[in-house]
Amino acid sequence: MFQDNSDACKEAIRQVQVKWLKEVGELLVSAIKPLVPVDTSKLKNSISYKVNEGDMSVIIGTGEDYAIYVEFGTGEFAENGQGRRGGWVYNDPITGEKIFTYGEHPKPYMRPGYRGQKKNIQALLEKCLKDIGANASIGFKKVK
């Protein structure tokens, strides 16, 4: 007699996907944190991840609004030449002192942290798939 196990198989695959996404989140957070430039440690300590089971994705990031400026730079030093030219003055929020700047050079941490872990992310997926009995070799390709 035929027994339909497709729902159980789909659920097993879903659980493996969620497990993999959580492991990827942990891996990337642990790889990125040491790369964060430290002034107050606020940015470094805020790096975290969140798994969205609805669309099977993991988001690595921070809630600190200045994180993007650290990653990509500001002013005349911003990547891709998209920063403000000519400098500007601002009040230092800690000292209250007026400071003139042309901007800050980029200090990437997210992108290098991810790039350095691509092979480990792939190995984690292969391991998770083997846990459910799948013999897998995974390859990644760049999507345009």
Tokens at 82, concatenated: 């998209």
Rounded CA-CA distance 78/144 in Å is: 24
Closest by alpha carbon to 35, among 9, 5, 62?
Answer: 62
Tokens at 39, concatenated: 């002034």
The angle, 0 to 180 degrees and rounded to 10, between the axes of the packed helices 118-131 and 6-32 is 150
Q: What are the pLDDT digits (tens) for 95-131?
A: 999 999 999 999 999 999 999 999 999 999 888 888 7
Question: What are the backbone angles phi and psi of residue 98, rounded to the nearest 5°?
Answer: -80, 130
Task: State the pTM of this model.
Answer: 0.81
Q: What are the pLDDT digits (tens) for 37-93?
A: 998 899 999 999 999 999 999 999 999 999 999 999 999 999 988 888 999 999 998
